[in-house]
Amino acid sequence: MSQDLLTLEFETIANLIHGHAVERPQARALIDGDRVLTYGELDAAMDRVAASMQAHGLKSRDVVAICASSSQEYLETFLGGLRAGVAVSPLAPSSTPESLAGMVADSAARILFFDASTAEVTAQARALPGVKAVAFDGAAGAEAYASWLSPAGAKPAPVAIDPEQGFNIIYSSGTTGAPKGIVQPHRMRWAHVQRGGKFGYGPEAVTVVSTPLYSNTTLVSVFPTLALGGAVVLMAKFDAAQFVKLAEKHRATHAMLVPVQYRRIMALPDFDQHDLSSFRIKFCTSAPFAAELKADILKRWPGGLVEYYGMTEGGGTCILVAHEFPNKLHTVGKPAEGHEIFLIDDEGRKVPQGQLGEVVGRSPGMMTGYHNQPGKTRDAEWYDENGVRFIRNGDIGRFDEDGFLQLMDRKKDMIITGGFNVYPTDLEAVLSKHEAVHEAAVVGVPSQAWGETPVAFVTLWPNARITDEELRAWANSHLGKTQRLAKIEIVDVLPRSSIGKVLKRELRDAFKGQVD
């Protein structure tokens, strides 16, 4: 891939893939188990998907949704939709059926793609008026993908892509209430591709993908790999031992992993016996990354280590090139090139260097807004004295004397478990629906397995009779897989401030030890 191309103001990922198909049609693009898809085959599949979407009446800026396990079909559908100018909403199979149906309705998706593994969770969404269901594996109750797809050789009508139009809609929460749909424009994804060119992505890159395709964590490595001509190796489900074997077999050069995955891989008894010398760069994002774990990876795993700190919403990103700054492993690095990050106080004023403040940032990669939620979009924005738009990260940090950002605490009480965001208010809302529960407060506590895990503190109504384990079983039956509570403690009273706010820090401090 020419470096001159990466200096362009804008290009679409679909066009870049077509260029690879013309220049290197036999090069590997996607490896899914025993199946290998070349760039020529991927480009042709994208044409068939785009042509079929157009044949079914979809136009540029319409939306489709995907809720399925990672697969070749998932990616060719996502990419084919982009070629047709259609925005894609990748949805979490761990959502509740009610929440998933709400996301499909909110996105106004015209087609919902699913597979047998998500048939149950998508049933309610597939019953929505105006939603066509297509099953990748021919699951009952929907048209099979193979028959929905336009014939081999089909070509879609050309579509002009506005850099500011929606590329995808990623929902930030999949539990109760109204999840926020983060609209990421094509320009934002192009910025990710340009950044990827600086970290060794290119025709020789091989990226092992072991996190789900609905996660932005995954997509920020998948799209640069394919846009710049490399090969993506899919894992349907992460397993530490299998990851190392796949990486060794395919001579992997890149991977994006969350901290809990790194911890499990580094704990493998035979880790040091594997040849991982092909790695150029390993990335990490999505959750707090312990300095001692970074140091262990630098010592024992060949290749560089890069930590991204940012949000799906975009705004400013910090990058820690850990192998170049081994004395800064307690930080998340410096603002990326072309990114602006400030710290502000509770009144929205910039704080001096060295002082604590809330992180706000801007960059070429920023969400358009939360889909259909202008109020929440405004809440997420901060404007400087010149009226320039920034996105609030909701974290508290401090810049050190060298310009590296050290995170101190999260202003919001979001829990990050296994690399996924869990919002305590969603869990509290579920608990409050139980007739025995008077009040509930959920906090994140340390977990060896997940980094953090949710724990609830609950007060009961007078004369209520229920044990903590009975209540936990009931609550978890109403929550998505990633939101399930590790423990419930029934208490007499919740600690509060003088103005009546529940003091969650005191609850966290009162919880001793870790949850396995």
Backbone angles phi, psi at 256, to 5 degrees: -115, 115
pLDDT confidence of residue 113: 98
Encoding tokens for residue 491? 């208490």
Distances in Å between the Cα of 288 and the Cα atoms of 355, 394, 407, 417, 432 are 21, 14, 9, 10, 29
Q: What does the pLDDT average to over 143-165?
A: 97
pLDDT tens-place string over residues 363-386: 999 999 999 999 999 999 999 999
**DSSP state at residue 198:** G
Q: Calculate the average pLDDT of the chain.
A: 93
The confidence score (pLDDT) of residue 499 equals: 45
Q: Is the pLDDT of residue 325 over 90?
A: yes
pTM for the whole thing? 0.83
Average pLDDT over residues 31-42: 98
CA 495 to chain centre: 34
Q: Report the pLDDT averaged over residues 413-436.
A: 86
pLDDT of residue 409: 61
pLDDT at 175: 36
pLDDT at 470 over 60: yes
Residue 177 has pLDDT above 50, yes or no: no
- Quick check: 1 pLDDT over 60? no
Q: Is the pLDDT of residue 230 over 60?
A: yes
Strand partners, 184: 168
The stretch 139-150 carries a mean pLDDT of 92
Section 96-124 average pLDDT: 96
Please give the Cα distance from 151 to 146 (Å, whole number): 9
Average confidence (pLDDT) over 158-168: 98
How far apart CA 253 and CA 273 sit, in angstroms, is 18
**pLDDT at residue 513, rounded to an integer:** 62
- In this model, does residue 141 exceed pLDDT 50? yes
Tell me the average pLDDT across 96-105.
Answer: 95
List Cβ neighbours of 470 (8 Å cut-off, separation of 6 or more): none
pLDDT for 173: 58
Q: Residue 62 above 80 pLDDT?
A: yes
Q: From residue 10, how far is each of 190, 193, 217 by CA, in Å?
A: 7, 10, 22
pLDDT score for 253? 98
Tokens of 423: 């919002």
Domains of the chain are 5-237 (3.40.50.12780), 339-410 (2.30.38.10), 415-510 (3.30.300.30)
